[in-house]
Structure 1
Amino acid sequence: MRDVSDRRLKAVVFVVAFAGYTAAGYWLQVRQGFLLGDALSRTAAAQGVLFSREPHLAAIGFIFTPLTAMVQLPLVALASWWPDITARAFAGTVMSAAFMAGASVQILSMGNDRGLPRRYTLLITALFACHPMIVFYGSNGMSEAPFVFFLIWAVRRLTMWMVDDDVHHLIAAGAVAMGLAYLTRYDAAACVAAVGVLVGATTYLRAREGPRLKRALLDVVLVSGPGIAAVLGWAAASWLITGEALAQFSSQYGNAAILEQSGGGAANIVAGLGYSGVCLLLLAPTLVPLLGCAAVTGLRRPTRQMLLPPILIFGAALAFQTLTYATGGTFPFLRFYIVAVPFAACMALLVVPDGVLRTPTRRGRHAPDIPPPEAVPSYRAGLVAAVLFAVCLPVAGWGMSLPAYAPQEFALAAVLRPDPDDTSPRKEEQRRIAATFATERELAQYLDGLGLPPSSVITDTMYGFAVVVASRKPKTFVVPSDRDFVKLLNTPSASGIRYLLAVPNTGRGTADALNLRYPTLYDTGSDVATLELEIPNSGAYQPDYRLYRVNEPVPVPG
């Protein structure tokens, strides 16, 4: 009966959370047009797989890992019936809503696995699901939702493996969660390593007789092998198709190139560490007290080893992001520290004394002996933990309004609290960020209205992806993932190309393929095209486009 009741409760939590995140995403993206670039670009990649001039799976690209775009393919296939599925990245909304709802279910399941009071588990689950960053990234199509889901799933299963040695937990955590986590975000590589260390050391110490090292290595291969295979497999596929094994770090479109072009990244290591510390305090200001409470109460229990998986796995993700930013390898985005939220939620659950642990599918031979729980355990510490976790919500909401730490999230005020009479620079910047990609949608509509045949407009997807994904006729565009892109770019007039969509040859635009081939294209047309239309951009950090009509071929005399 307990299992049936738990399944029903999980289904209710998933449906409610999924409906809430989807509704929030529909209002935010479809109704208000508030889109984040990475979310839209992932939907554009999925569109390229199905509707480009040359539909093929490699069009998904190798800058981002592929899972978030691949999951969107079934919905993107319906874009011809409802264009906003791609133009406003609603396919991404559904993807992130499903994963974040699943993350809420995993938090609930963690409490159920330990036999905690249902009301307390539901309270922590509700606080997690309603955290402002969780709501925002559960509804906007970014990769944070699936990444959070896979990490919580791995933490939950490894937490139970620590006390029952059930091999099924290793299979779920390693063969599924960790492998898919890497196909969601590169950060997961640190978590794969942390999981291997945790499982290997635990198995070695448990096996007090026989081939201890052999058993430890076997468990490490089981739990970390799929993650390592994902790392190597994705790098091999990228190298075979593009010639670059780690395009995110070596490509002209990757993070390293963007940082160099835009002058981003931390000024120095100290400043980088300080920024990361503030981000952690903004998202989960009571994480350290929760860790302390969990340690004080948990170390007294026979199941104290349950504390290790969340500390090592979430800690590895946060440490990776902190060090990457401090050394100048990534951007100052608050969202990169979002795993601090499930970290705090897990600690709030681990503060409470164990109830009756869930019966394992197959109890392992090296499972430690766990005595039954107290007849009437005290849950007073749970009240303190719940209050501490609840404090995270208003603090995070305030932190999301700070442009110095939340340059993407702070613009939400433009749609949540619109004030047409406020003409301050801060409000104007918020409006521009909220209007990002509105110009690209208008440009796509203009080009669609010209009735152009396929292969008429050539553009690089560094910026142009937002135009292509908003078009109802994506086959009109020639993009870098097309195999004949270079040929058509070199001879546009002879190849039937009618327009070149140009961006300024500055900043990130210096890596634009059209600017690399025709360095003066934006300014003069490079003697291959004539300016037909200039499109000032209303969005923030987006270029002013120029549409050049390709010159007619010069007839050869005689």
Structure 2
Amino acid sequence: MNHGDILSRLPATSKLRPQKERRSIMELIYISKKESRVVFWTSLIFYLAVGALFNLYIYLGNGDALSRTANAYYVLYSRDPHLAAIGFIWPPLPSLMQLPLLPILKPLGLTVMAGPIISALFGAGSLVMLDVVLGRLKVPDKVRWLLLALTMLHPNYVFLCGSGMAEPIILFFILVVIWGYMQMPYGTRSWVICGAGLAAGFMVRYEALALILGVAIALVLVYWPESGDWRDEMEGRLLAVMVPPAYAVAIWLFLNWMVMDSPLYFLQSEYSLANATDIASNAGVTHPLFLAWNNIFYTISYTFKRLAQQNIAFLIGSVIVLLTAFVKRNRKMIGLLFILFSIPAFTAYQVFSGSLATWLRYWFYAIPYGAIEIGMLYRILQRRWRNLFVGLLVFLFIISIPISVNTMYSDENTGGDMQRLGAYLMHPASEPERRTSDSYYIFRHDAPILAAKVDEVSREGLVMVDANKSYYVILDAKHPERLMITNDTDFPAALQYPQGKVAYILIPEEGNVFSRTYPGIYDGAYDWAVMVYDFPDTLTKYRLFKISPQ
């Protein structure tokens, strides 16, 4: 599209038509396809190698990521295969994207690699999009490549891309949204890109709701009032961007209502975060999350601490960019800051409300956002001050990597997976003693032991398994069609009266649907459920019960 075509799409009264804005159109920097291919393939190969190492050899990963693979697995390989088996608690897109991979990976015994392949693809794609965004911010090649390398090799980002997590997926769509926002209002494509990115982001993680709000505020801030017809223009812009995510939210509510009989099932079910044990109230009176619970000052302190442990450059860059943008009255950059701040602000609210877990990965956004803020300085600062602040922020970005590694190693509140990764990077000899605190390692250790016994007894009849608690057993079982799992349509009826419907029930010691329905069943409180096998070699306590016929 040439310069004249771009201007012809703008309203006649728009202030974006003067010569100075025409000049800015011509100054846009585009990243070559060759560079994008190099960035994509280099990072993809690296993250796939990391994913194979983590998941196939050292059992370093994340249980949430594995559960998303399990949700996709039930759609194809359960006793009652149907699309709704994918579940209605977490957004479905990460699991849906794994469906085409499972028929290829399952015969090879590589089912657990479905998630890491998707996260590696989107981790690489996110770096390509970050390169494009930095290019549009006019970041010089060498600085841009350095920022890409720092992001690509940041240990937390490496872990997320190699473990099958949803964070790289939503980051990709966040960067798509930012890309669309930065192109506005040049043509209609930018509005479509932004809206589609928001819709897809919601289907990945619920934090996208905060992103949607951030984009809406940014659009109002930047384009109001722009001309005499600003009301009509603003309405049109908001509709163009907000309708796609509104449809995505409406569709998800409708599907929850149609399948689970409640449009808010994903918020209200017994497995949702809303009904999870309150984290802050059970953390202990000296725990940082307990101190931050309903305390704005401790919440801010905890938020800044966690963001700094990921990337100090993001915190310092936020102050520099915000002050400079205000002084220069650059509403476009202020709007971009609202977009960047939206999800971290939502995460901080979760800290305040006592509903956020301690895991360090929730704050990973500081890694790519720090790179974007460095790029924003090229838009709003003159060379002398720009070079000074860019040098400072790049230095802070670099030293944030060892700080992050040390946090993983020394902070017991980062999660078992992060603690093991920190041990591998700082003190490998201490890693084995941390395995029993890593749920993913426990899952991978116990799964073949439990699955072998389940496959053995399932010859006699159906084995009932709580998929929300024992999904890793189902993934490892050779005959999943012999298992009655939580996602089966007839599971609720069988749970109420299992006699004559199932032959066995596999019960973990704690936190399962069987113990909630039949208190004391794990300890043998019911005559119709007889324990036939205790598992002495598993790290999680399990018992297998034989169900007497009617």
Shorter-chain TM-score range: 0.7 to 0.9
Secondary structure in 2 matching 1:25:
helix
How far has the Cα of 1:486 moved from its partner? 2.5
How far has the Cα of 1:126 moved from its partner? 1.1
1:513-536 C-alpha deviation (Å, 9 max, x unpaired): 322332222111511221111125
Query: Equivalent residue for 2:189?
Result: 168
Q: Residues 380-395 of structure 1 correspond to what in structure 2 (within 5 A)?
A: 381-395=389-403
CA contact (8 A) 1:413 1:430 kept: no
Query: Equivalent residue for 1:531?
Result: 531
Query: 1:110 and 2:133 equivalent?
Result: yes
1:487-532 C-alpha deviation (Å, 9 max, x unpaired): 333443422x22101123x5xx2xx332233222211151122111
TM-score by structure 1 length? 0.84
Secondary structure in 2 matching 1:77:
helix
Query: Equivalent residue for 1:480?
Result: 486
1:189-210 C-alpha deviation (Å, 9 max, x unpaired): 011011112213433322x122
Query: 1:284 and 2:314 equivalent?
Result: no
How far has the Cα of 1:3 moved from its partner? 8.9
1:453-478 C-alpha deviation (Å, 9 max, x unpaired): 7x611011221212112212211211
Q: Residues 538-553 of structure 1 correspond to what in structure 2 (within 5 A)?
A: 538-539=538-539, 543-553=540-550
How far has the Cα of 1:430 moved from its partner? 4.8
CA 1:451/1:289 → structure 2, altered by over 3 Å: closer, same or farther? closer
Q: Residues 393-542 of structure 1 correspond to what in structure 2 (within 5 A)?
A: 393-408=401-416, 409-413=418-422, 427=434, 429-430=436-437, 434-450=441-457, 452=459, 456-495=462-501, 497-504=502-509, 506=510, 509=511, 512-524=512-524, 526-536=526-536, 538-539=538-539
2:358 to 332, 341, 347: 332
- Tell me which amino acid in the other structure corresponds to 1:448: D
CA 1:348/1:410 → structure 2, altered by over 3 Å: closer, same or farther? same
Q: Which runs of 5+ in 1 are unaligned?
A: 356-372, 554-558
CA distance, structure 2, for counterparts of residue 42 and residue 432 of structure 1:
15
TM-score by structure 2 length? 0.86
- Tell me which amino acid in the other structure corresponds to 1:446: K
CA distance, structure 1, for counterparts of residue 241 and residue 331 of structure 2:
18
1:259-292 C-alpha deviation (Å, 9 max, x unpaired): 2499657422234443323211111223232224
Query: 1:238 and 2:256 equivalent?
Result: yes
CA 1:245/1:421 → structure 2, altered by over 3 Å: closer, same or farther? closer
Relative to its length, the structure with more helix (as a share) is 2
Query: Equivalent residue for 2:207?
Result: 187
CA 1:41/1:378 → structure 2, altered by over 3 Å: closer, same or farther? closer
- Tell me which amino acid in the other structure corresponds to 1:202: V
- Tell me which amino acid in the other structure corresponds to 1:166: G
How far has the Cα of 1:341 moved from its partner? 1.4
Secondary structure in 2 matching 1:54:
coil
Query: 1:269 and 2:298 equivalent?
Result: no
Secondary structure in 2 matching 1:205:
coil
- Tell me which amino acid in the other structure corresponds to 2:479: K
The percent of aligned pairs where both chains have the same amino acid is 22
Higher mean C-alpha deviation, range 246-255 or range 426-435: 426-435
Query: Equivalent residue for 2:44?
Result: 18
CA distance, structure 1, for counterparts of residue 154 and residue 385 of structure 2:
29
Query: 1:35 and 2:55 equivalent?
Result: no
CA distance, structure 2, for counterparts of residue 327 and residue 5 of structure 1:
42
CA 1:288/1:416 → structure 2, altered by over 3 Å: closer, same or farther? closer
How far has the Cα of 1:294 moved from its partner? 3.3
1:308-338 C-alpha deviation (Å, 9 max, x unpaired): 3431122110111111121122322211111
CA distance, structure 1, for counterparts of residue 30 and residue 338 of structure 2:
32
Query: Equivalent residue for 2:267?
Result: 249
CA 1:535/1:405 → structure 2, altered by over 3 Å: closer, same or farther? same
Secondary structure in 2 matching 1:73:
coil
CA 1:525/1:440 → structure 2, altered by over 3 Å: closer, same or farther? farther
CA distance, structure 2, for counterparts of residue 546 and residue 124 of structure 1:
51
Query: Equivalent residue for 1:365?
Result: none
- Tell me which amino acid in the other structure corresponds to 1:544: K
CA 1:404/1:427 → structure 2, altered by over 3 Å: closer, same or farther? closer
Higher mean C-alpha deviation, range 289-298 or range 398-407: 289-298
1:400-451 C-alpha deviation (Å, 9 max, x unpaired): 223343123112245557766889xx64655776344311232113322456
How far has the Cα of 1:185 moved from its partner? 0.7
CA distance, structure 2, for counterparts of residue 467 and residue 415 of structure 1:
27
How far has the Cα of 1:153 moved from its partner? 1.8
Higher mean C-alpha deviation, range 67-76 or range 114-123: 114-123
Query: Equivalent residue for 1:76?
Result: 102
How far has the Cα of 1:392 moved from its partner? 2.0
Q: Residues 148-159 of structure 1 correspond to what in structure 2 (within 5 A)?
A: 148-159=171-182
1:143 to 166, 181, 184: 166
CA 1:17/1:419 → structure 2, altered by over 3 Å: closer, same or farther? closer
CA distance, structure 2, for counterparts of residue 422 and residue 137 of structure 1:
19
Secondary structure in 1 matching 2:79:
coil
Query: 1:294 and 2:321 equivalent?
Result: yes
Secondary structure in 2 matching 1:97:
helix
CA distance, structure 2, for counterparts of residue 269 and residue 4 of structure 1:
46
CA 1:92/1:190 → structure 2, altered by over 3 Å: closer, same or farther? same
1:90 to 113, 120, 140: 113
Secondary structure in 2 matching 1:116:
coil
CA distance, structure 2, for counterparts of residue 134 and residue 422 of structure 1:
20
Query: 1:209 and 2:228 equivalent?
Result: yes
CA 1:298/1:489 → structure 2, altered by over 3 Å: closer, same or farther? closer
